[in-house]
Amino acid sequence: MLKNRLSNLLTPIVDSESGLGVVIIFVIMTALALLLAILVDRIAIAVVNRIVKKIVFKTPTKKDEMLYERKVFHWIAHYIPIIILYLFSFSYEDLGKIIRHILVFIGISITVIALYKLLDAINDIYNLKPYAKDMPIKGLLQVIKIIVLVFALVIGLVNFSNSGSALALLSSIGGMSAVLILVFRDSILGLVAGIQLSTNNLLSIGDWIEMPQFRANGEVIDVSLTKVSVANWDKTITHIPAYKFIEESFINWEGMSKSGARRISRQIVLDGGCVGFLEADQIENLKKVRLLRTYLEEKEKEVLEHNTNVQDTHPLNQRGLTNIGTLRIYIREYLKMHPSISKDFIVMVRQLESTGQGIPLQIYCFCNDIRWNSYEEIQANIFEHIFSVLPYFGLSLFQVPSGQDFAKIHK
């Protein structure tokens, strides 16, 4: 009926200016189709959303609620006006073919968006699992999105092409492989990197990582196909290409977090001019220290036995206790008795190679409190104590002379 009325109204125009008449008919029919589509679409969305909302919020599971929040059903409802208009288009011949091509393209676009929303909902549902932190699937879903988009583009081109052969069109994509690789370079590299990171369990959301070359030092908050986002401790966010974690080195502190202990590895540099043997009065004074009493008594017997057998009073032919060696034992015993130092890991105080800057003593142990503030506080307390006990051993830290030191020399 509508077609006949429009034809009667536009007959003079079609007869006189056939080309212009076709254009006017096409414009009017397209406008009416769009108005009808918008009206049907609004009604369909309102009805579907109301029905679906009542259903999903009554079920005990939250999976359908996530589908609703991602508007999966909202986009599926768009198919209703598309189907109605598609069937309506068969009432026309040439114009109907054009309308059907347009509707197919719109339907493909709606399908892509609906699948994207569905994949996002799947990711939300998966993140509720306890193992989602260690094995994220966001990168895999992004790969699926790319595949869906490529196939949608192919089908869309077939829809508007005259060949009608999807196979022929797919074969032509081979010639575009170089362009596709260039465009999706980061995605392809990110996919390979994501597989390696997940397979080898190198990186997970929530890990504390450090990557100085990108000024990243903080917690991983997102792992996607193309990038890894790190929330730094200074409240900034660093986005790093995913493949960089395969190409370059980074520190993952998650092992430290799981072990429940954090390493302390720091050295003090002693002034070599203060190193020497302990005198008898110094030894007696240090015997009053509980951490050294047993050690000094045993060593004193050992040294006395050796010196008696040598029967030579020259200092170089006799053994003695050095202040640096005794300090090393004291620090070791002090760390072993410290309540904040883990007894399950190695505790070591070793002497490193001496340099022009002095004699380094390295303190190597593990703090049983991995919290940053507590760790720094414990470490500071330990070294403040070590600095304070040096005079009791006749030792001092090496320090580069300052202007005041040179002024004393000139005086």
Output the CA torsion sign for 235, 240, 242, 243: negative
Closest CA to 36 of 103, 93, 95: 103
Distances from the Cα of 410 to the Cα of 398, 399, 400, 402, angstroms: 21, 19, 17, 13
Output the CA torsion sign for 129, 133, 134, 135: positive
Q: Angle at CA 55, nearest 5°, toward 52 and 59? A: 140
Written out in words, the top-level CATH class of the domain with range 163-259 is mainly beta
Report the phi/psi class of residue 203: left, alpha or beta, with left for phi > 0 and alpha for psi in -120 to 50: beta
Contact assessment for residue 241 and residue 186, using Cβ atoms and an 8 Å cutoff: yes
Written out in words, the top-level CATH class of the domain with range 263-276+322-408 is alpha beta
Contact assessment for residue 74 and residue 114, using Cβ atoms and an 8 Å cutoff: no
Domain extent listing, the chain = 2-128, 163-259, 263-276+322-408, 281-319
Helices 138-160 and 94-126 pack at an angle, to 10 degrees, of 180
pLDDT tens by residue, the chain, 411 residues = 444 544 554 444 444 444 555 566 666 766 776 777 778 778 877 877 778 777 777 777 777 777 777 887 778 888 877 787 777 777 666 666 777 778 788 888 888 888 888 888 888 888 877 766 666 777 677 778 877 887 887 777 776 665 445 555 555 555 555 566 666 666 677 777 766 776 667 788 888 889 988 889 999 988 876 788 999 988 899 998 888 888 888 888 877 777 788 999 999 999 988 999 998 899 999 999 999 999 999 998 888 887 777 777 777 777 889 999 999 999 999 999 999 999 889 999 999 999 888 999 999 999 999 888 999 999 999 999 999 999 999 999 988 776 666 566 655
